[in-house]
Amino acid sequence: MADPQSNAATSAYPAIPADAPPSGVIHIRHRHTERFTVVGNHLAQHAELSAAAIGIAVYVQSLPDDVSVTAKALALHFSEGETTIRRALNELERAGYIARPRIPLGGGRFATRTFSYDKPGCVPEPKPRPKPASAQAPAPSGPQVQPEPQPPARPEPPHPPTGPAADLLARLRLADPRLLLSAGDVQRLAPAVETWLSRAATPAQITRTLTANLPPEPVPIHHPARFLEYRLRNLLPPPLPTEESQPPGPAPLVTCDGCERAFRSHDPDASCGDCREVAAA
């Protein structure tokens, strides 16, 4: 007699461990030995970053140094559009996971470089320089005393942005402490303020526009840079009209040679209407 067989499909999922929690996720772990990236929980479980920002940060941290991470380049990899990716990159920049300073190249030219931080505020570790073979001394015999490890060299902090636009943005916190900006935010928003200044808007006018009708205290402004960026973009005044586009002014006053009456005319030798009628008759 044949053995009884069950028609039920065999489950592809593992059995629930005896010590598993009664609810929530159950992790099935795998130890990676190649092609993996270590990501800190400060990023993976960040309470203020969006899911798109966290995903892009993990992807950027997994790339080698020479890969482009512009919004256009990332849009070729992800299904999200450039607008969503730009917003995510701005989130990461405000949180300190990405920095995009403008590096002077000389001759008035600048280039934007992108720095990716595994953890905000971390500094690069110096790489030891290999010694040439001729300079390497033979290993001495006997017990060796290990030298004390030297602390990693800290790079010089970047120079804060300067200029009228940067000064205006930095002083906004004096008008309202909720408008405190980082040096990176000031550097990113300064070109927008320079556009306002090029359209004959005074620093006082720009400050009044950016600080008018703020939420009443103690309501916080969670993202002051994003708040100011919106106002700078949507409240931008138009350029002043040129002199050629100004409407013509009124004609100057001239005196009629016949009756000494004053009237307006662009012809200095013209006569008034009454004298023209007499002359015509």
Residue 148 lies in a domain: no
Residue 90's CATH number: 1.10.10.10
Residue 131 lies in a domain: no
Do 67 and 97 sit in the same domain of this protein?
A: yes
Residue 20 lies in a domain: no
Do 102 and 74 sit in the same domain of this protein?
A: yes
Q: Find the radius of gyration of the CA atoms of the chain.
A: 35
pTM over 0.95: no
Tell me what pLDDT residue 272 has: 78
Residue 133 lies in a domain: no
Look at phi and psi of residue 100 and say left if phi exceeds 0, alpha if psi is from -120 to 50, else beta.
beta
Tell me what pLDDT residue 278 has: 73
**Counted domains in the chain:** 3
The parent domain of residue 230 ranges over 164-214+221-238
For residues 70 and 12, give the distance between their C-alpha atoms in angstroms, rounded to a whole number: 41
Do 234 and 261 sit in the same domain of this protein?
A: no
Do 45 and 117 sit in the same domain of this protein?
A: yes
φ and ψ at residue 190, rounded to 5 degrees: -60, -40
Do 189 and 258 sit in the same domain of this protein?
A: no
Tell me what pLDDT residue 227 has: 93
Reduce the secondary structure of 220-237 to three states and give it as a string.
CCCCHHHHHHHHHHHCCC
Do 72 and 46 sit in the same domain of this protein?
A: yes
Query: Which residues, 6+ apart, have CB-to-CB distance to 132 below 8 Å?
Result: none
Per-residue pLDDT of the chain (281 residues; tens, 9 = 90+): 455 555 555 567 788 888 888 888 888 888 888 888 999 999 999 999 999 999 999 999 999 998 999 999 999 999 999 999 999 999 999 999 999 888 888 887 888 889 999 998 887 777 667 666 655 556 556 566 666 666 666 655 556 678 899 999 999 999 999 999 999 999 999 999 999 999 999 999 999 999 999 988 888 898 999 999 999 999 999 998 876 655 667 777 777 777 777 777 777 777 777 777 777 76
Residue 260 lies in a domain: yes
